[in-house]
Amino acid sequence: MSTAQFFILLVYRLLCSCTILAISTALLSSGQNSYGHQSSSTMSQSRQLCSKLLSAHELHGDWVQGASDTQVGCPTWAQEIDCLDEGLAVPAAVKEKAHAEYSQVFQPHSCDLAPWDAAAFGQCVKGKRLIFIGDSTTRQQFQSLACLLGPVTAAAHGSAHWNSSSITDSKDYKMPGAFGRSVSKSFWGDMRLRGGASLHARIFGSYSGELLDDLMAELAPGEELVDSGLLERFGRDMTDLLRRLRTHPARILWRAYSPSHFGGELGAYVQEKPAQGRELEDQMECTPTEVGETWYDGFIKEYLRSCGPRCANISILPIFELSLGRHGSHLGPLQGRTAQSRHSSWDCRHFCSNVLHTWNTVLYNALCF
């Protein structure tokens, strides 16, 4: 990897599902598990660490017993992802279900993930900037890092209001092909680690090339990028985005798509079926799916294949397969319609922190090993 000063993680869903991140990495040995989710006892003593995640495109495995219910403390603006929060007004049976979901860790089939280590991650990104740009799933991943990096964080802030000093705050950005609708700018976050690294989140709900360009100019990202990823609009937006990114002097990590579990073979939310969410709420569960919305990552893989050497700077951060089987770990079944929930419908899209922390463990392994 290069000695980049920046990493950008970018993710959009529906109209665009992608995330950008930029940073230099170092080969670090894993230390003590700082958040209690995957202990070293779950790792095979005879297998190698997962050191080629960015060339794999996929990461298959199983969720096995071996996790602890222990949680690191989250800042107030990130507590909504914690489905073990004692303040959640949910029945005892739901709390029991949450503990069962949190009592499992992801074990890849062919290698071992080094367990999360906040101090080692902080050292790995020392003196660098990580920039997250994307949709609500990107916000969740940033919130997860805010929780995981608590022991090494010097200052942190998250808000639904963008900073008024930003050139992008007052400017009206239109959604491409959406008949004059404006892009919703929904979250602004900043963190500074004790080792000198800084993390920044700029979250907006649909793709806008103009907004992306303005953010890139304002944040001045350098050499490393991470990015993730109806279909007609997605393809149009992603083609535009990838054309911009493949000429960027950054290393691009495309974070794979985050699966939903609203029912059916694909698990997709169908706007033409308004009763869909109510039915899931009555059942107090989300529905498992064997396939998931594979076309999003399929589009990206085919684009990279056809792009060839011109896209040599773009890799995929694989989180789709590990998330596909966690239909019970969404906010809907584990939080429901609580006073703390901001979600207006039964949520089988956004995950709880047990899955989000695993995404960031994969990110840690991809960047630092």
Torsion of CA 284, 80, 291, 252, to 10 degrees: 180
User: For every one of its 369 residues, what pLDDT tens digit does the chain have, with 9 covering 90 and above?
Assistant: 333 444 555 554 433 333 444 432 222 222 333 333 444 444 555 678 887 777 778 899 999 998 654 457 899 999 999 999 888 888 899 999 999 999 999 999 989 999 999 999 999 988 888 878 778 888 999 999 999 999 999 999 999 999 999 999 999 998 876 677 898 899 999 999 998 888 988 888 777 888 888 887 887 654 444 444 345 567 777 788 777 777 766 667 788 889 999 888 888 876 545 556 666 777 788 999 888 988 888 888 888 889 898 888 778 889 999 999 999 999 999 987 544 444 446 889 999 999 999 999 999 998 888
> What DSSP designation does 255 have?
E
Residue 52: the pLDDT is 78
| Bridge partner list, 8 | 21, 131
- Contacts (Cβ under 8 Å, ≥6 apart) of 197: 23, 122, 125, 126, 127, 128, 129, 130
The upper half-sphere exposure of residue 134, i.e. CA atoms within 13 Å in the direction of its Cβ, equals 33
Tally of CB atoms within 10 A around 180: 6
Residue 226: the pLDDT is 43
Residue 71: the pLDDT is 59
Note the residue count of the chain. Answer: 369
Residue 45: the pLDDT is 56
Q: Quick one: angle between helices 209-219 and 231-246, nearest 10?
A: 30
Q: Tell me the C-alpha distance between 252 and 228, whole Å.
A: 9
| 112-145 CB burial, b ≥16 within 10 A, e <16 | bbbbbbbbbbbbbbeebbbbbbbbbbbbbbbbbb
Residue 221: the pLDDT is 56
Residues 22, 250: contact at Cβ < 8 Å? yes
Choose among 212, 223, 224: nearest CA to 317: 224
Q: Tell me the C-alpha distance between 53 and 67, whole Å.
A: 22
The upper half-sphere exposure of residue 104, i.e. CA atoms within 13 Å in the direction of its Cβ, equals 18
Rg (CA), the chain: 19
Residue 32: the pLDDT is 32
3-class secondary-structure state, position 303: helix
Residues 3, 127: contact at Cβ < 8 Å? no
| 9-43 CB burial, b ≥16 within 10 A, e <16 | bbbbbbbbbbbbbbbbbeebebeebbbbbbeeebb
| Bridge partner list, 312 | none
